[in-house]
Amino acid sequence: MADARFTMTRRECLGALAATAAFPALRGAAAEGKPMRGAFMILSTPYTAANEVDYDDLAGEVDFCDRCGIEALVWPQNSSEQRYLSKAERLRGFDVLAEANHGRAPALVLGVQADDTAGMLEYARYAEALDPDAMIAIPPRSASSLADFRDYYAALCDVTGRPVFVQTSGGAPDIEPTVDFLVSLAREFPQCGYVKEEHPPVQERMLALMKHRPDPIRSILGANFGRAWAWEMRLGTDGVMTGGVMYADIYAGLWDLHQAGRRDEMRDLYGKLLLMLNLDRLIPGVRLHVLQKRGLFKTTQSRRGEYSFTQAQLDEIEHRFAALEPHLRA
């Protein structure tokens, strides 16, 4: 019988390994060697005319994003309509994306969130077997305290030693994942040193998190379709994770310009992107239209509702999209 004094859980073992220089893979930006920085595109979920998930188009997004030069693919998150997907659809999507991205440059980040820990673990164990580059989990909606958040992510770290992105929104509405909590969580579980920051005040929290890089905080990503990304890049954050696959080449171009120090060119391209992003509040379904326009989706079907467009709306979309066309890569 094993001596209990020398028995360690998987989580404790991973934490101990990550704390030592003998295991640099667990201390670096990503255990698999792909940096967790840059333009992370949350894939949209395509549907057939019969409102079934179109897995061929889902796989097609992988090829498109690879040609656009983005750094990572993420699915499914809120921009993927993840709450409208069944468990079977999510698991099959994991399989499709793992196969489609095999051997490609972008990192694959699988979303394993659920309303409670038990549900999350089902997704996490399935995802782990597919060898993704990282995982992301929205906090549990069933939580009643930060201690519940901690236990949820602790359970995830029992399953995987890969980078785990902690999203700071979308969980139980009355619980704030404070900066102190995020730093403490990352110290205890090094996998959780990756943050998708969405909780207001976003930029102030980012600056506070940056004081704790590179250990234990390893990567800080923005969101909100990149509407504040130009500023966040100038602040020194690590990228953006957002549902912008229809403009994937533009987000990739913005990151490349930023990395090259070409700030004026980045600002000008960012302004052209904002022309399209501003249409989201004026023309419902514009993103789906652009996905269809670019040949990625067969339909503009959504489980949130049906979308149709007047000629005046289509004319405005075309007028604004024309400013992006010289910068498209795929």
> Could you tell me if 268 and 251 are in contact, meaning their C-beta atoms sit under 8 angstroms apart?
no
| Residue 23: how many other CB atoms lie within 10 Å | 15
> If DSSP codes are grouped into helix, strand and coil, which group holds residue 79?
helix
> Could you tell me if 296 and 61 are in contact, meaning their C-beta atoms sit under 8 angstroms apart?
yes
What is the share, in percent, of the chain residues with pLDDT greater than 90?
89
pLDDT by residue (tens digit) across 96-126?
999 999 999 999 999 999 999 999 999 999 9
Q: Which pLDDT belongs to residue 306?
A: 85
Enumerate residues 6+ apart whose C-beta is below 8 A from 319.
none
Q: Which pLDDT belongs to residue 114?
A: 97
Give Cα separations from 48 to 58, 277, 302 (angstroms): 11, 25, 9
> If DSSP codes are grouped into helix, strand and coil, which group holds residue 112?
coil
Q: Specify the DSSP class assigned to residue 96.
A: H
Q: What is the mean pLDDT of the chain?
A: 92
At residue 302's C-alpha, the angle toward residues 300 and 304, to 5°, is 140
- The pLDDT profile of the chain, 330 residues, written as one tens digit per residue, is 444 333 444 444 444 444 333 333 343 333 447 999 999 999 999 999 999 999 999 999 999 999 999 999 999 999 999 999 999 999 999 999 999 999 999 999 999 999 999 999 999 999 999 999 999 999 999 999 999 999 999 999 999 999 999 999 999 999 999 999 999 999 999 999 999 999 999 999 999 999 999 999 999 999 999 999 999 999 999 999 999 999 999 999 999 999 999 999 999 999 999 999 999 999 999 999 999 999 999 999 999 988 999 999 999 999 999 999 999 999
Region label for 150, one of left (φ > 0), alpha (ψ between -120 and 50) or beta (otherwise) = alpha
Q: Which pLDDT belongs to residue 24?
A: 33
Nearest-angstrom CA–CA distance, 94 and 37: 22
At residue 217's C-alpha, the angle toward residues 216 and 219, to 5°, is 145
